[in-house]
Amino acid sequence: MADSGYVDLRSDTVTRPTPAMRRAMADAEVGDDLFGDDPTVIALQEQAAALTGKQAALYLPTGTLCNQIAMHVLAGPGHVVVCEQTAHVGTHELISSAMLSSITFRTIAGRPHGLLTAAQVAAAVEPVPYDPAVVGLVAVENTHQVGGGTVMPVDTLAEIAAVCAARGVPLYLDGARIFNACAVTGAPVSQYAAQAEAVMFCLSKGLGAPIGSILAGDAAFIEEALRLKILFGAGWRQAGIMAAAGLIALADGPGRLAEDHENARRLAEGIAAILPGHVDLAAVQTNIVFVDVAGTGQPLDAWSAALAGEGVLVTIVAGKLRMLTHSDVDAKDIDAAVAAIRRVAAKFGLP
């Protein structure tokens, strides 16, 4: 629980830097990253490349920038990107892609819980006679956030990769929370990354760093991505201060994600006992819990406000209450959140 006294379940991005991160940031050796001579950034990029099994990697401020650069390079202006209908790239980033790259999207309804199949992708990339829309890229999100943090197995991603290879369409992996997927499947991140031309992951979500994401691919891809990083205005300077925290996140973060998953399951089951039928327990595979309050007699904003009044912060996403577990909440905080939800439910006259 944060010093504010709230149980903050809005996102796994709200974590504070650990003492080890703060020490590393204070002591970081730095240079000018725009000139390519910040040694801590270089170390982070090299470690990320080795971890993903890619030739090179690039440290960027946000996961959205990683996605935008990757789509610009791999798909290119005037092309279509195929993705799941609730994927981040095709919803939250839709306008960014239009403005930066003249890209549009062809969306597929993933079943279940936002997960695509190779057959769906094969149908979506098939050329349509006399249609000028050309698919330039397939983007897969893993874990799939709006689906509930659901996990795509490596074998399924490999099947999609085979479809893409047969059609000559590159595959991009939006792996903002890929380490959560790895914690569930036991597969190393390199196995997932091997299926795609490029992959991104966030250091600032479950891994706990204060800022930054990684984009990884082959050397030529990263060379062009670096050019676009500067073109899009992200040519930062002594970024090693933040990269130092990223190195700690890579070292310490993946191994503790199972704890977040256990807390999410504890939270989901606690809420399900209070509000039967309002939590899809099958979708709670990682650190994300969605609560559908339809039929409770109270709108979403009333639930969100009432929970805040009881010391629990949540967000509203895709017409549901969204709660994420992370390194700054423990089992006691989860129990406190469940107790708060019980009080709110009683206040709303629910059994």
**Which tokens sit at 188?**
């190393």
Measured CA to CA, the distance from residue 149 to residue 283 in angstroms comes to 7
Q: Structurally, how many domains does the chain consist of?
A: 2
Which residue type sits at 225? A
Bond into 156 cis (ω within 30): no
Containing structural domain, residue 116: 19-253
Instruction: Return the sign of the alpha-carbon dihedral for residues 40, 217, 94, 289.
Output: negative
Q: Is residue 1, in this structure, part of any structural domain at all?
A: no
Residue 324 contacts by C-beta under 8 Å, 6 or more apart in sequence?
A: 9, 10, 11, 12, 149, 264, 287, 288, 289
**Residues 130 and 192 grouped into a single domain:** yes
**Residues 206 and 87 grouped into a single domain:** yes
Single out the residue in 205, 229, 253 at which a domain terminates. Answer: 253
Q: Is residue 294, in this structure, part of any structural domain at all?
A: yes
Single out the residue in 253, 278, 305 at which a domain terminates. Answer: 253
**Residues 79 and 220 grouped into a single domain:** yes
Helices (H), the chain: 19-27, 39-52, 63-74, 94-101, 118-125, 154-167, 178-185, 189-193, 219-231, 240-252, 257-274, 300-309, 331-347
Q: Is residue 209, in this structure, part of any structural domain at all?
A: yes
* Per-residue confidence (pLDDT) for residue 4, from 0 to 100: 64
* Per-residue confidence (pLDDT) for residue 116, from 0 to 100: 96
**Structure confidence by residue, pLDDT tens digits, 89-108:** 999 999 999 999 999 999 99
The CB density around residue 73, as the number of other CB atoms within 10 Å, is: 24
Residue 101 contacts by C-beta under 8 Å, 6 or more apart in sequence?
A: 68, 71, 72, 75, 76, 77
**Nearest residue to 73 (alpha-carbon basis) of 204, 219, 211, 228:** 228
User: Following CA atoms 268, 273, 279, 283 in sequence, which dihedral angle do they give, to the nearest 10 degrees?
Assistant: 50
- pTM for the full predicted model: 0.95
Give the rounded percent of residues in the chain with a pLDDT score beyond 70.
99
**Structure confidence by residue, pLDDT tens digits, 322-336:** 999 999 999 999 999
Rounded-to-5 percentages of helix, strand, coil across the chain: 45, 15, 40
CB 140 within 8 A of CB 116: yes
Measured CA to CA, the distance from residue 53 to residue 193 in angstroms comes to 7
CB 293 within 8 A of CB 239: no
Q: Is residue 195, in this structure, part of any structural domain at all?
A: yes
**Residues 269 and 189 grouped into a single domain:** no
**Residues 111 and 232 grouped into a single domain:** yes
Give the rounded percent of residues in the chain with a pLDDT score beyond 90.
95
**Residues 153 and 226 grouped into a single domain:** yes
Single out the residue in 253, 273, 296 at which a domain terminates. Answer: 253
The greatest distance separating any two alpha carbons of the chain, rounded to the nearest whole angstrom, comes to: 62
**Structure confidence by residue, pLDDT tens digits, 113-127:** 999 999 999 999 998
* Per-residue confidence (pLDDT) for residue 1, from 0 to 100: 56
Mean pLDDT of the chain: 96
**Residues 302 and 227 grouped into a single domain:** no
**Structure confidence by residue, pLDDT tens digits, 187-217:** 999 999 999 999 999 999 999 999 999 999 9
